């Protein structure tokens, strides 16, 4: 049976996943399919083209912490219940290029977890793939040159074309070298993914701040799909990052003033505050002797207490930090001690993507 329609749903911070969606959409149109490319958020409420085997669907999203971003998992779970469409999951991941060498990213468990959620909702999940697009994680490393980005993007486009050929010949796409690679790394790194979803993403969200170039235009707030920015201030509104931030990098890359930094010196301070071994202190206060219990129970008790401490610790610290940033000298100090402020560091966006296309 031929597909008659294609619905491609994407969530994208800096345009990579959006770009992959447009390539798939173009190939679907060339095959004569009635095609729609919509954001994952809209897919929750809008009618998805015909249910059943005639409907082809793809979910495209970035990799965060070797798995799918929390927002993607949550939104996929809210998609309309079972329409029996054939679904494919595509995760874009951080490709790098050094000289002639292309280094693949690690999508890990992302596509499989999304596939599992869709399966539980009654979709017929037919395959998964990781696609290397340029790494957008510029709070972690400086971005690569445009030539390297273009080479990685060209390669990805060819890969997506090969994938689409298989999809439209009704093949299932599970047993591939790429998926074997992801299963191995997804399993080995699963503890990092869990730690990322439970703690890491909240920590990363609290590294963002606006430097003194911010003019309070509010573009970052209006375009954040997870509504993670609140504009706050007395004389002038400036952005405040909430817990819901997914660190997708959209606000930082599309800020017209280039005013959004990921604070590295602040990150070091926040790390020491949030990693304070409060459990040992609290337990000793109430006269609890950790030596009395086995090491497994001991580490469980300590981890639970440390986690309970972690969330308010970063929340309160960030709140105080945001107040201090209003003092020009403090803002200047943190701005000039973060690497994202270095002139060569840069901010990544998929070169052809415009901000308005991402919502």
Binding positions for ligand FMN, rule: CB under 6 A: 12-17, 62-66, 92-94, 105-107, 133, 135-137, 204, 247-249
Roughly how many angstroms between the first and final C-alpha of the chain, as a whole number?
33
Q: Which of residues 48-107 bind ligand SF4 (CB under 6 A)?
A: none
Q: Total binding residues for ligand SF4 by CB under 6 A?
A: 26
* HSE-CB of 232 using CA atoms within 13 angstroms: 12
Number of residue whose CB is nearest ligand FMN: 105
Contacts of the segment 267-272: beta carbons below 8 A, 24+ positions apart: 267/207, 269/317, 270/203, 270/206, 270/207, 270/314, 270/317, 270/318, 270/321, 271/203
Of 14 and 22, the one with the shorter C-beta distance to ligand SF4 is: 14
**Residue of 52, 142, 218, 277 interacting with ligand SF4 (CB under 6 A):** 218
Q: How far apart are CA 324 and CA 210, in angstroms?
A: 12
**Residue of 245, 270, 314, 325 interacting with ligand SF4 (CB under 6 A):** 245
69 binds, among ligand FMN, ligand SF4, none (CB under 5 to 8 A by kind): none
Task: Give me the 178-217 binding string for ligand SF4, x by CB under 6 A, dash otherwise.
Answer: --------------------------------x---xxxx
Smallest gap from residue 205 Cβ to ligand SF4 (A): 6
Nearby residues of 173 by Cβ (< 8 Å), 6 or more positions away: 88, 126, 127, 128, 129, 163, 166, 167, 179
Contact call for residue 13 and ligand SF4 (CB under 6 A): yes
63 binds, among ligand SF4, ligand FMN, none (CB under 5 to 8 A by kind): ligand FMN
DSSP 78-105: TSPS----EEEEEEEEEEEEETTEEEP-
DSSP state of 232: E
Residue numbers at the binding site for ligand SF4 (CB under 6 A): 13, 210, 214-220, 224, 226, 228-229, 239, 241, 245-251, 255, 257, 259-260
């Amino acid at each position: 049976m031929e597909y008659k329609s294609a619905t491609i749903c994407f969530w994208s911070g800096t345009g990579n996943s959006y770009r992959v969606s447009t390539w798939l959409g173009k190939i679907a149109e060339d095959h004569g399919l009635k095609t729609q490319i919509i954001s994952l958020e809209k897919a929750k409420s809008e009618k998805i083209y015909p249910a059943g085997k005639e409907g082809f669907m793809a979910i495209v999203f970035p990799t965060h912490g070797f798995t799918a971003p929390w927002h993607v998992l949550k939104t996929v779970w809210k998609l309309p219940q079972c329409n029996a469409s054939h679904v494919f999951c595509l995760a874009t991941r951080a490709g790098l290029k050094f000289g002639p060498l292309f280094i693949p990213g690690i999508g890990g468990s992302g596509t499989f977890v999304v596939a599992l959620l869709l399966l539980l909702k009654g979709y017929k999940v037919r395959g998964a793939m990781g696609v290397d697009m340029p790494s957008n994680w510029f709070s972690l490393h400086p971005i690569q040159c445009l030539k390297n980005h273009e080479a990685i993007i060209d390669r990805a486009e060819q890969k997506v074309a090969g994938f689409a050929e298989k999809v439209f010949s009704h093949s299932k796409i599970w047993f591939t070298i790429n998926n074997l690679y992801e299963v191995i790394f997804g399993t080995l790194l699963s503890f990092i993914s869990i730690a990322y979803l439970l703690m890491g993403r909240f920590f990363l969200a609290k590294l963002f701040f606006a430097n003194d170039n911010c003019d309070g235009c509010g573009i970052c707030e209006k375009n954040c799909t997870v509504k993670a920015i609140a504009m706050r201030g007395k004389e002038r509104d400036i952005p405040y990052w909430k817990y819901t931030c997914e660190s997708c990098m959209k606000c930082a890359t599309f800020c017209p003033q280039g005013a959004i930094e990921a604070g590295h010196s602040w990150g070091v301070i926040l790390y020491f505050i949030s990693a304070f071994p409060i459990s040992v202190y609290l337990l000793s206060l109430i006269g609890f002797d950790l030596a009395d219990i086995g090491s497994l129970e001991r580490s469980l008790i300590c981890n639970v207490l440390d986690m309970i401490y972690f969330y308010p610790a970063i929340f309160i610290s960030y709140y105080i930090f945001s107040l201090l940033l209003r003092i020009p000298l403090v803002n200047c100090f943190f701005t000039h001690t973060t690497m994202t402020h270095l002139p060569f560091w840069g901010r990544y966006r998929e070169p052809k993507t415009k901000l308005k296309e991402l919502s």
